[in-house]
Amino acid sequence: MTAIATTLAAAAACGSKDSETTSTPATEAAEATAESTDEQVVRDANADLVIWTDEVKAGALKDIAQQWGDDQGITVAVQIVADDLQGNFIAANQAGNGPDVIVAAHDWIGNLVQNGSISPVTLDAAAEANYSQVALDAVTYDGQYYGVPYCVETLGLFVNKALTDVTEPATIEELVEAGQASGADVVLSLPVGESGDAYHMEPLYTSGGGYLFGTKDDGSLDPTDVGVGAEGSVAAAKKIGELGEQGVLATSVTGDNAISLFTEGKAAYLISGPWALGDINTAGIDFELSKIPGFEGMDDARPFAGVNAFYVAGGANKAFAETFVADVAKDSSIAEAMYAINPLPPVQQDLASKLESSDANMVKFMDFAANADPMPAIPEMSAIWGPLGMAEANIVGGADPESTMTSAGDEIKSTLGL
């Protein structure tokens, strides 16, 4: 799942994460064409088209990519880069022995563009119309598409129907009231942790009025306008602090135990992503998946959306790479083949329609993503995760909301030289 793990030790994110504090329910990857080593990874010199990705995506992609290569009369190698995919890719690309395609999280785009590691891609009108808007927004950087999306992850609200019949609370306040009335040990299982978890806290932060970066006239993010420490973030901090005082949020709930508290029947509600579905289904919990509500009288709760995409890299065979990613975008056949091995919420309308009856909850996550914000792909985002997450954890633990959030904003601005 995403790059947050590489930019922030405490954060977690979506199918777009390389790794997350919560484990994903993805099917174990099949053996790929090459194993990673502790040494610098280099491209497979015997293949015409070389694709790099992590172990899970490699297992889902290997067979369909090789079939595509057979149809084209070329050889395709899907190489696993298990550790520091982004760093290995940038280094190999600069050394001239990198892959032709990389499959990774959209929030790497800013850094990859800055390092000259990926090229813009073209989507025809039919492909654009088939993609969800959030997927297109996620891979747009400086007004150009830099990736071809294939899946999205965001957060939703899991409700234990054995504990409460309030399955679609309209507000956080209604959720809290229902959760307390349920008698559950935990009203809301949401990862906070001692060091914070800004990814999972984002719906509450945005509902309270917080933002991360402002926007320029063209709609792109403005890294000089930092929202942490601003008035809206302080209002959000106060609401988060109230939930801490009520015991609804607790630093003892972490990425390691948030899902298990729900699967063990101890929590009435859980905020998590599609990676939780496997454990919840295995546990036999009778649950409902709903949209995360916002605070009463305040803004909508807007979680992050993380999109995984295919990128044209600077490898030796760019023409093959461009043809392959164009075929990924053409229809959902490649994404559907990957879904069969590693189910993740789709971003193509035709695939969502096919899954509606068999995997309704996966399609729900696609719908939730329509009201989510793509994780910022600008490099400056790396300065946000740690200070914001720690501030939120401290506020849940009882620290003064206003001064704590203001100090976090000052730290971020100092890091960014603002």
Write the single-letter amino acid at 360.
A
CB-based contacts of 126, cutoff 8 Å, min separation 6: 330
**Residue in the block written with tokens 């190489």:** 79
Assess contact for 30 and 63: CB atoms under 8 A.
yes
CA distance 200 to 256: 13
What local confidence, expressed as pLDDT, does residue 149 receive? Answer: 96
Assess contact for 267 and 183: CB atoms under 8 A.
no
What local confidence, expressed as pLDDT, does residue 38 receive? Answer: 47
Q: Residue 304's closest CA among 81, 20, 88?
A: 20
CB-based contacts of 267, cutoff 8 Å, min separation 6: 160, 184, 185, 186, 187, 188, 189, 261
Query: What is the dihedral angle through the alpha carbons of 139, 141, 147, 148, rounded to the nearest 10 degrees?
Result: 40
Say what the pTM is: 0.88
Walk along the chain (418 residues) and give the pLDDT tens digit of each residue: 344 433 333 333 333 333 333 433 322 322 333 333 446 788 888 999 999 999 999 999 999 999 999 999 999 999 999 888 999 999 999 988 899 999 999 999 999 999 999 999 999 999 999 999 999 999 999 999 999 999 999 999 999 999 999 999 999 999 999 999 999 999 999 999 999 999 999 999 999 999 999 999 888 899 999 999 999 999 999 999 999 999 999 999 999 999 999 999 999 999 999 999 999 999 999 999 999 999 999 999 999 999 999 999 988 899 999 999 999 999 999 999 999 999 999 999 999 999 999 999 999 999 999 999 999 999 999 999 999 999 999 999 999 999 999 999 999 999 999 9
Assess contact for 208 and 237: CB atoms under 8 A.
yes
What local confidence, expressed as pLDDT, does residue 37 receive? Answer: 40
Write the single-letter amino acid at 50.
V
Write the single-letter amino acid at 81.
V
Strand residue runs (E) in 353-394: 373-374
Locate 263 and state its tokens.
């699967």
Q: What is the DSSP letter of 171?
A: B
CA distance 131 to 216: 25
**Residue in the block written with tokens 């050394």:** 95
What local confidence, expressed as pLDDT, does residue 39 receive? Answer: 60
Residue 373, CB-side half-sphere exposure with 13 Å CA sphere: 23
Assess contact for 176 and 389: CB atoms under 8 A.
no
Assess contact for 278 and 362: CB atoms under 8 A.
no
CA dist 226 to 171, 230, 232, 305, 348, Å?
27, 8, 11, 20, 33
CA distance 193 to 8: 14
Assess contact for 345 and 182: CB atoms under 8 A.
no
CB-based contacts of 279, cutoff 8 Å, min separation 6: 25, 259, 260, 263
What local confidence, expressed as pLDDT, does residue 219 receive? Answer: 85
Assess contact for 229 and 122: CB atoms under 8 A.
no
CA distance 307 to 134: 9
